[in-house]
Chains A and B, each alone.
Chain A
Amino acid sequence: MDKKKMKILVVVDVVILVALIIILMSLKGGYEEQAKRTANEQESAYLEKNSQVLVEQWRSVDQYSMAWKLVYSMLSGAKTEAAFNSNLAAIEGDKDARFKQISHLYTGAGINDAVQNGIFQKAGLAEGSILVKNDKNVKDVACGKNCVVKFSFAKGKLKNVDYSALVQYNLANSLKIEKPAEYHFE
């Protein structure tokens, strides 16, 4: 190869090199920012999805706890429709007692106060009434996810309480923490 061609090759190499370095530097920032952003977005989405499961569990335990308290109140006290209504209102209205009962179950299960408070901050207490059906003789009470207690009345007197759903209550069938999906760089 003669000297002239060598010179041309050197010049072309230098030009390509400079261009590549410019491309390298400009892409570097872009890739770094994109990788961090997509990782953060996917992490946040997963963490939020998980915390929603715990929120749902907390609210279900609130309904579950209120339902047991109501069943107990009806079996241990006056067995009338009026008593049912006043017991239900008292149980739903006493938010401190509701929190205490949930917290007691969580503490007994080995969940510390910090974790409980973290869930409670997001979940609060179950919204709305647990009374999901209010016919004259049949009243259905929600006792958590996929759980209903049936109170039957005849002429204003309690005839039967079917709380078998509470005795068989099992959240493991309906609430699950999903494994994280693979990270993808978009």
Chain B
Amino acid sequence: MNLKNISIALTVLVFGVIAMLFMQKGNYVNQAKEHYDATTAKSFKGNSMVLELVNNGIEMNKQTWAIACGALQTVKNSQDMARLEAKFFPATKGSNSIANKTRRFEASSANVIVSTFAKVEEDKKTGVKSLAGLQSVDVSVLLGKAVASAESDEGADEEGADEE
């Protein structure tokens, strides 16, 4: 009777070990899969974010460059400049500094251009001052050389004159 119990127990044990034999592979595969999934998901998320942020950065950057280069080809006065800015950034307006004869356009802190004009003109009927005779467009901020300081002198700002 005792021998019978032992043989039954041993047979059960044999089947148990056979089951373990098949299960152990599955365990290691699952562990490896978990590690792979976690690592690759982190990489996918992080790199996709970098790719997207840079692509978004290019969107704003290229439009600011387009204003700077377009201005060199077509702009004569601050009204023309305002129209060009509105074409690319309808919601963002540049501001004139009558004292410095400059117009600053800031799409974001990294995308700034400053145009310099030759003279100040005044509308005789309305008395509104504007800038005329584009001389240069400073793109040093776009080149990463400097952070352009705000030069707008609020008192002399005739921004309203440039709106269409």
Contacts and interface: CB of A to CB of B under 8 A. Distances in A.
Interface in A26-70: 27-28, 31-32, 34-36, 38-39, 42-43, 46-47, 50-51, 53-54, 57, 61, 64, 68-69
A115 B125 CA distance: 56
B99 interface: no
A128 interface: no
A72 B110 contact: no
B18 to A, nearest CB: 6
Sorting the interface of chain B by its residue count into under 10, 10 to 19, 20 to 34 or 35 or more gives 35 or more
A47 B33 CA distance: 16
A66 to B, nearest CB: 11
Interface residues on A, range: 35 or more
Contact of B139 (A28, A46, A72): A72
Nearest to B17: A20
B14 A17 contact: yes
Contacts, number: 182
Contacts of B72: 72, 75-76
Interface in B37-55: 37, 39-41, 43-44, 47-48, 50-55
Interface of A: 1, 3, 6-7, 9-10, 13-14, 16-17, 20-21, 23-24, 27-28, 31-32, 34-36, 38-39, 42-43, 46-47, 50-51, 53-54, 57, 61, 64, 68-69, 71-72, 75-76, 97, 100-101, 103-111, 115, 119, 163, 166-167, 169-172, 175-177, 179-180, 183, 185
Interface of B: 3-4, 6-7, 10-11, 13-14, 17-18, 20-21, 24-25, 28-29, 31-33, 35-37, 39-41, 43-44, 47-48, 50-63, 65-66, 68-69, 72-73, 108-111, 136-137, 139, 141-145
